[in-house]
Amino acid sequence: MASKNINILVKIWRQNGPLAQGAFEEHALKDISTDMSFLEMIDVLNEWLTRKGLEPIAFDHDCREGICGMCGAMVNGTAHGPDKETTLCQLHMRRFKDGDTIVIEPFRTQGFPIVKDLIIDRSALDRIIAAGGFVSVNTGSPQDGNTILIPQHVAEQAMDAAACIGCGACAAACPNGSAMLFASAKVSQLALLPQGQQEAKKRAINMVLQMDKDGFGNCSNHRECENVCPKGITIRNIARLNREFMKGSFAIDH
Amino acid sequence: MTWFIQTFKSSLGKKYIMAITGLMLGSFLVVHAIGNSSIFWGREAFNAYAHHLHSLGIFVTFFEIGLYSIFFLHVITAFYLFFENRKARGGRYEVWTSAGGVTWGSRTMPYTGIAIFLFILIHMANFHFVEKTEVFTISDYVTKVLTNPAYTLLYLVGLGMLLLHISHGFWSLLQTLGISHPKYDEPLRIVAWAIAAIMGAIFILVTLLMVVSRNQLL
């Protein structure tokens, strides 16, 4: 598609600090190339703000190629914007039309306090990982690659779950502010493989309890999460977590 | 015992309570719908069904106590979940657009739930907590209540709420209990919808039959 320039109106959330009162700020942007990524559009806005001597918009980003999980915001009410399986950095301005108003808000949920503007504190996800998202067997020196044989379809499923980049879009999009899709992906990637199965039951319990402690909500099976996940992680993983938690609750030996 | 408390205090434990009590209430509804179907064979058949049911004596009482317990467990847990989830949402979005997940059913679960609760109270006041005699039987009560246009409308709305509630509830409880697989996830959704629709159709037909037949119920 040939590139062209569009004029847009950006309605963006500004908030000075975690406890500060936030509000929307409007900026009319002219001549935005449709070849720009969404974050480049914010870069342009920030350069303009800086030249004016105003405070630039704070937003998280790192790789800008959709694999790190740092970026993310609600674009017109949808986490990571309107494209499926796309992070915010991979969303492009060609997705918008001349004259569009774009509303940009930070990911909101009780578990993610706002740090500043669009930056949120996602350390709750790290605490869920720390509660059980690991394998605590002594691995010793590296084994030969194929000593533990894993069928291809199992490896694929584990890899699909492991594709989670922890961006938090699932919890942000969830009407209940639940991080079940995240927790279920982290439980699944290990529960599917022999090395992770030993601790699967205990892991499921510890991660769910930590998720509750951090103020995330309860899953109502709305399926919003899987529809905004930039890595296409499905709620089949949530069903697996539900099974693992049940086994852990009713059939654990210690 | 600590594991038991820990399990049912957790978010997932509460969802298990919702799923299991929901399944039991759903099963009761199926039986209720089948029982009510006897009205299609006329008032004699319907009265006979009610009579047979009540001749179970003490078992009816046991069953009632069980059903009340399950019902209130479902309602109380739902209130917990509703307030927890509202708190967890942590502020509403200025703009929120569905990415394609929520349905009418899923979005309105707490509200249809409350509507069904009120509907059941009215329903029980109409038919359960009334004195049935040899002269004025349950059939007479059903005819009397359902031919009243206000009640006809109320029952149709109430049943609509019920349908909406279980259109999400049936599939959701299976997912919560971990019964999900790409092989049968979509068919299960359709089956859940079909069960809800068939059950709803029976109840709605009973209501409409009363209106159409008026006092000429056989």
CB pairs under 8 A between A and B: 147
- Contact (CB<8Å) A239/B87: no
ipTM of the complex: 0.91
Assigned domain for B5 exists: no
Q: Where in chain A is the domain with CATH 3.10.20.30?
A: 5-105
Q: Which CATH architecture has domain A5-105?
A: Roll (3.10)
Mutation to test the A interface, candidates B7, B77, B93, B107, most A Cβ within 10 Å: B93
Sheet with A23-33, edge to edge strand ranges: A23-33, A5-14, A101-105, A74-75, A78-79
Determine the average pLDDT of the residues in A30-44: 96
Residue appearing with tokens 């942590």: B90
Determine the average pLDDT of the residues in B117-135: 90
Q: Does B5 touch chain A (CB under 8 A)?
A: no
Cα separation, A201 vs A208, in Å, equals 11
Q: Does B183 touch chain A (CB under 8 A)?
A: no
**How close B71 comes to chain A (CA, Å)?**
19
Please, are residues A248 and A205 in contact by the beta-carbon 8 Å criterion?
Answer: yes
Average pLDDT of every residue of chain A: 94
Give per-residue pLDDT as tens, B52-89.
998 988 999 999 999 999 999 999 999 999 999 999 99
Q: What is the domain count for chain B?
A: 1
Cα separation, B138 vs B48, in Å, equals 10
Which CATH number do you get for residue B59?
1.20.1300.10
- Contact (CB<8Å) B180/A217: no
- Contact (CB<8Å) A235/B175: yes
Assessment of whether the complete model's pTM goes beyond 0.95: no
Q: Does A112 touch chain B (CB under 8 A)?
A: yes
**How close A105 comes to chain B (CA, Å)?**
8
Pick the CATH number of A123-135+150-250 from 1.10.800.10, 1.10.3720.10, 1.10.1060.10, 3.30.1330.30: 1.10.1060.10
Assigned domain for B218 exists: no
* Res. B214 pLDDT band, cuts 50 70 90: low
Instruction: Specify the pLDDT at position A35.
Output: 95
Q: Where in chain A is the domain with CATH 1.10.1060.10?
A: 123-135+150-250
Q: Does B6 touch chain A (CB under 8 A)?
A: yes
Instruction: Specify the pLDDT at position B3.
Output: 87
Cα separation, A41 vs A8, in Å, equals 10
Give per-residue pLDDT as tens, B150-182.
999 999 999 999 999 999 999 999 999 999 888
Q: Range of B89's domain?
A: 11-213
Assigned domain for B149 exists: yes
Q: What are phi and psi of B132, to 5 degrees?
A: -100, 130
Greatest C-alpha distance within chain A: 65
In chain B, residues with a C-beta closer than 8 Å to the C-beta of A108 are 89-93
Give per-residue pLDDT as tens, A40-65.
999 999 999 999 999 999 999 999 99
Cα separation, B167 vs B116, in Å, equals 14
Q: Does B176 touch chain A (CB under 8 A)?
A: yes
